Structure 1
Amino acid sequence: MKTWVLNPAFADGEAGQLFADLPSVFALQGESITTDDISEVHRFCMDGRCYYIKRYVEAGKNLRRFIGRPRIRAEWENLLKFQRWGIPTVPVVAYGMERSGLGFGRGALITLGIDDTDDLAHLAKHKGLRLRDRSWLDAVIAQVARGTRIMHEHGFAHNDLKWRNILVDRAASPQVYFIDCPAGRKWPGPLLHYRIVKDLACLDKLGKYHLRRVDRLRFYLAYTQRQRLTAADKKRIRAVLAFFEGRE
């Protein structure tokens, strides 16, 4: 069984030909960005646009090789969820996979690169001046809080909500994009609480080193859409702060 979907907006011209099907996508050779035992990412540029091509030859690592959603399928489904929910993300150009017998054969996801963006981890590592710009930071905090809240309101947890997985452009009025979410999924109520704490703790893992306490509080209040903390909020914040204790 083979599935391949090409976004109609990219069906014409050279992109439509090069991304027409899975064999064509696996034949492309672009600039290698990352590679490991199960996947590789290439950047392929043409006609003034750059595309990111993720190709998987295994469903995942460990048990995910044999059971559950293949990692590549989870990633494209989650990005499409973000689009439906109004969470800014990278445009999805094409995606699909094929089976080998009853198991996973190979799969790919193509996204359109967004010009002039940096991930938040990069800005933190290089001590970007924008992190000290109050108006810029307030806008970014508000957008990250909104996107995180929408996920959680849908019973969904990102499960790897780190600064490296959040892009922000270089415009005077910044736009935030949520990316790379192969581990995200919906969780039933009792399990969702733990995953929400983990998402918030992942954000605060770098936040505690690069943001003022008042900024971290402003994020949490924007996330909850409240003016002040409740007793339940204080309990959850303690859980967030303790989440990575002894593991860093």
Structure 2
Amino acid sequence: MSERWTLSADARPSEMRAFGSLEAVFALEGEFITKDPLSRVLKVTVDGTRYYVKRYTRPAKDPLRYWLGRPRIRAEWENLLAFANWEIPTARVVAHGLERHFGRFVRGALVTEEIPNTTDLAQLAKSRDPRMSQSGWVNQCIRQVARIAQKMHNNGFAHNDLHWRNLLFREDDKRVYLIDCPSGMHWPAWLLRYRAVKDLASLDKSAKLVFRRTQRLRFLLAYLETDRLTPEGKRWARAVERAHGRRALRKRLGL
């Protein structure tokens, strides 16, 4: 049995006690948040600070991942650490690791510190938050989300699940944070544009419901770092619209 467990270099004494090993993390009890066939998420409080504890007992939906490839939990922590390295606001990774037996995945866990006083953009839209109709607030969010997408893509990385539910707005510092990225990965240059367009189309899917066309265009211009719609910008806009069409077709066909 082999175990790889890592605590953050800036871990506090209370975090070292609570999350010092994979065994300790799997023994934790807390508030149940959600579960799926692969994992279970709890919220725990340590010395007044709240943390999310995600525990995996399967590496992925594909049985081959027990032996081959990158387990989903490893992808989660590596992607969050990459975001921090690229200066993308994200949840602080406190501890992470996994256990194998003769090379076969057994279990794994990820501990992140809660980002307090946040609401995801999807919830803000669903609740018809008044800020969604304030042009100053919307423009601020647009610029931040565009910068997040741009930083990922400039590093050869695509999120693959870049929906509003994974973007948190924090009132305290007026910042947008990116969370939850188990499906993201680096892509070769010849595939990156296609994957980047899919990311932008995922964001635009929600934006179409609440933002004006000019605001959606402003997002694309911010992403491309230009103040006017160039021929290249028009190609990106058409590509995003085509991605919407492909998604709608797949939905109609049940694919």
Q: Is the 8 A contact 2:67 2:103 kept in 1?
A: no
What TM-score comes out, normalization by structure 2 length? 0.93
Partner residue of 2:124? 123
Q: Equivalent residue for 1:110?
A: 111
Give the paired residue count: 246
Which residue in 1 is equivalent to 2:166?
165
Corresponding position of 1:245: 248
Q: Tell me the distance in 1 between the aligned counterparts of 2:67 and 2:224.
A: 38
Provide the residue aligned with 2:44 in structure 1: 44
Runs (5+) with no aligned partner, structure 2: none
CA distance, structure 2, for counterparts of residue 45 and residue 216 of structure 1: 39
TM-score calculated relative to the size of structure 1: 0.95
Asked whether the equivalents of residues 92 and 111 of structure 1 are also in contact (C-alpha less than 8 Å), the reply is yes
Deviation string 1:7-57 (CA, Å, 9 cap, x unpaired) is 1332413x2211000000000011110112210000001322110000001
Kept after mapping to 2: 8 A contact 1:136/1:174: no
Q: Mapping of 1:49-64 within 5 angstroms? A: 49-62=49-62, 63-64=64-65
- Corresponding residue of 2:13: 12
Amino acid at match of 1:145: A
Of all paired residues, the percent bearing the same amino acid is 50
Unaligned runs of 5+ in 1: none
Measure how far apart 1:247 and its partner are.
4.0
1-side partners of 2:105 and 2:46: how far apart?
30
**Given that residues 18 and 46 in structure 2 are in contact (C-alpha distance below 8 angstroms), is that contact kept between their aligned partners in structure 1?**
no
2:45 aligned counterpart, secondary structure: strand
Shift of 1:168: 0.6
RMSD (Å) for aligned C-alpha atoms: 1.3
Task: Find the residue that maps to 2:55 and give its secondary structure.
Answer: strand
| Map of 1:89 onto structure 2 | 90
- Partners in 2 of 1:79 and 1:31 — Cα distance? 23
Match runs of 1:144-155 below 5 Å: 144-155=145-156
* 1:81 Cα offset (Å): 0.5
SS at match of 1:245: helix
Q: Distance in 1 between matches of 2:45 and 2:86?
A: 29
Q: 1:154 to 1:64 in 2, by over 3 A?
A: same
